[in-house]
Homo-oligomer: A and B are copies of this chain.
Amino acid sequence: MSGDSDRSLASIFLFKGLSEDALRKIEERCRWRDYAPQETIIDFKDDSEDVYFITKGVARVVNYSVSGREVAFDDLRTGSLFGELAAIDGEPRSANVVAIAPSTVATMNASTFRSMLEEHPPVAIVLMKRLAQMVRLSVERIMDLSTLGANNRVHAELLRLAKSNIRDDGSAVISPVPIHSELASRVSTTRETVARVLSDLTRKGLVKKSGNSLILLDTERLQDMVEQFRGD
């Protein structure tokens, strides 16, 4: 069961800056549900157009190819939203979403979501920024897939994960240590390639494990390695 504090949208990035009163009214337009680990939140074959807000827990988004092969995935934590593309454009979903920790999720139907965006233009602007970032990130991944080999894609992904934690001395911490299969999925390669690249980097003194963190010891050199290959 979730407590009352889980039934608040205050943690959702989209609603930062709204008054408490406006937030309460939006909360009243949501349905709330708890999910156990491994429980499906969205099945991509559903034709629902709801938007989901994670107010507690972790959910995993998994994209599938036409034939059902798992292609890429991403983990979303407290404060995230998902399902917004279908709510905006009415097109079918392309991913499954499964809870991977006990989670509390608020759901809003598509037409309520669109009315809410029209009533609160600053919220619409925050959502547009998020969509713009999604476009930029995708374009970056397309460039990586087009121009880099698998090894360098792993390097580029490590830098992406470390981006917000680079220290003055050029080192950076990724915490927790990324799981090999997750890294592999993000850059369209195999677990074995990820394991090999990480042991190469460890041997070269560019990466070391410390407790539950992975430390990039020289992000500048890693960046050089990626850029050199992007030019090939």
- List the number of copies, as a whole number: 2
Across the interface, name the chain B residue whose C-beta is closest to A133: B89
Contact with B along A124-135 (1 / 0, CB 8 A): 110111011111
Closest to A65 in B: B230
Main secondary structure on chain A at its contact with chain B? helix
Query: Any chain B CB within 8 A of the CB of A85?
Result: yes
Contacting residues, chain B, for A67 (C-beta < 8 A) = 227-228, 230-231
Q: Are A231 and B132 in contact (CB under 8 A)?
A: no
Interface residues on A, range: 35 or more
Chain B residues in 8 Å Cβ range of A141: 138, 142
Q: Residue A43 at the B interface, CB < 8 A?
A: no
User: Could you say which residues of chain B place their CB within 8 Å of the CB of A131?
Assistant: 128, 131-132, 134-135
Is A211 part of the contact surface with B, judged by Cβ < 8 Å?
A: no
